[in-house]
Every structure is written in C-alpha cells, then in structure tokens.
Amino acid sequence: MNVVKDIAERTFWTVAASFLGVLAASPVFDNLGLDWEDALKLALFTGAATLVKCLLAVATDRSSGGQLLPGPSSVEVKPDPPA
C-alpha cells in the first residue's frame, strides 16, 4: 500500500506543478494563447506520463516505490556531533 501512496503523491505533485507552471508561463509567451483549460490538459498529460513511469518502475522492482533510478528514495539527515 505504501507504493500506491508514493505513486499517487508523485503523480499529484507532477500535475500540480505542471498546471501552475503552464499558467505562470502563459503570460510570458503570449503567442501560445494558453488558458486554464489548456494548462489542465497539459498537466493531466504529464501526470499520465508520470503514472506510466512509476508503474514501469514498480514492474521492474517492486521495492522501488515508483523510483526508476536506483538509489535511496529518501536522504537520512544525521545530527552534528556535539562540540
């Protein structure tokens, strides 16, 4: 179940970042003529691509949690030793 949660979180944040990124870039690139509906379509497309990537990663290594490249999925921060 942890893998499903990780994939859902990765997909959600990809969609959110893509949507906001397109909305923010649209006024900069006036000739694109993108509105919020176009931004949503692009965000959903990138979300679908992320979902496919995560499913491929899980299919190749069930312990990956959606991470395609090898390595730890989180970084452990160790406190500084006392002086």
Radius of gyration of the chain (CA): 17
32: phi > 0 → left, psi -120 to 50 → alpha, else beta; which? Answer: alpha
For 42-64, the pLDDT digits (tens) are: 999 999 999 999 888 888 876 55
22's enclosing H/E stretch is: helix 2-25
pLDDT number for residue 26 = 83
pLDDT number for residue 69 = 59
Segments of the chain with pLDDT less than 70: 1, 62-75
pLDDT number for residue 52 = 93
pLDDT number for residue 51 = 93
pLDDT number for residue 74 = 60
